Amino acid sequence: MSAAGLDVRHFTHADLPEIRQTLIDVHADAYANAMDDEFNQRFSWFVDHWGGNPEFSCVIAFDGDKAVGFAYGAPASPGREWWREYLDPAPEKDLTFAYSELAVIPEWRKQGLAERLTRTLMAGRDEVLAVLLVDTEHPRVQALYESWGFRKVGERQPFPDSPLFAVMLAELPLPS
């Protein structure tokens, strides 16, 4: 089956109890070779943090009953968007979606699923901008986001134990 044949479903804050473990399991599989990193081990905290936002939005791809990838985020807090300190002047229209996490299990990579999840998550949103953070040591992932319309606007390290991230910004809707 191709990624186009997978069932991609939307979830919200109210669904967190139902999807929490699924997100943790897919993340553990997607980051299996990087789970010795303490930052990655704190993922369940991030799931609760983001999922606890009443405006949390998540998409999960299913192959039958098995979750094989997900993407999630939530509206950014006005004035505290990740791009804010790097753009002067700020964009005139600045309502921003913070794209927090994307993961696809190894068996489903290189088939366009990450793009489908990203586009499904962003489709029909009210925000005019989307911002994300990507590890500066993962230039191939950064290139993937560039291919969907994101551009790097700065670098930040939000936590002492987190990687140094590239801050990437795109206008919504994403260019097709």
Name the site residues for ligand COA (rule: CB under 6 A).
30-31, 102-104, 109-110, 113-114, 134, 138, 140-141, 144
Closest separation between CB of residue 90 and ligand COA, Å?
A: 24
Contact status, residue 48 vs residue 100, Cβ threshold 8 Å = no
Contact status, residue 51 vs residue 13, Cβ threshold 8 Å = yes
If we measure between CA atoms, which residue out of 71, 82, 81 comes closest to residue 11? 71
Residue nearer to ligand COA on the CB measure, 17 or 163 = 163
The residue count of the chain comes to: 176
Residue nearer to ligand COA on the CB measure, 19 or 103 = 103
Closest separation between CB of residue 89 and ligand COA, Å?
A: 27
Number of helices (H) and strands (E), helices first, in the chain?
Answer: 5, 7
Closest separation between CB of residue 141 and ligand COA, Å?
A: 4
Strand partners, 154: 167
Closest separation between CB of residue 13 and ligand COA, Å?
A: 22
Residue nearer to ligand COA on the CB measure, 90 or 143 = 143
Structure tokens that stand for 37 in this block: 């990193």
Residue nearer to ligand COA on the CB measure, 33 or 79 = 33
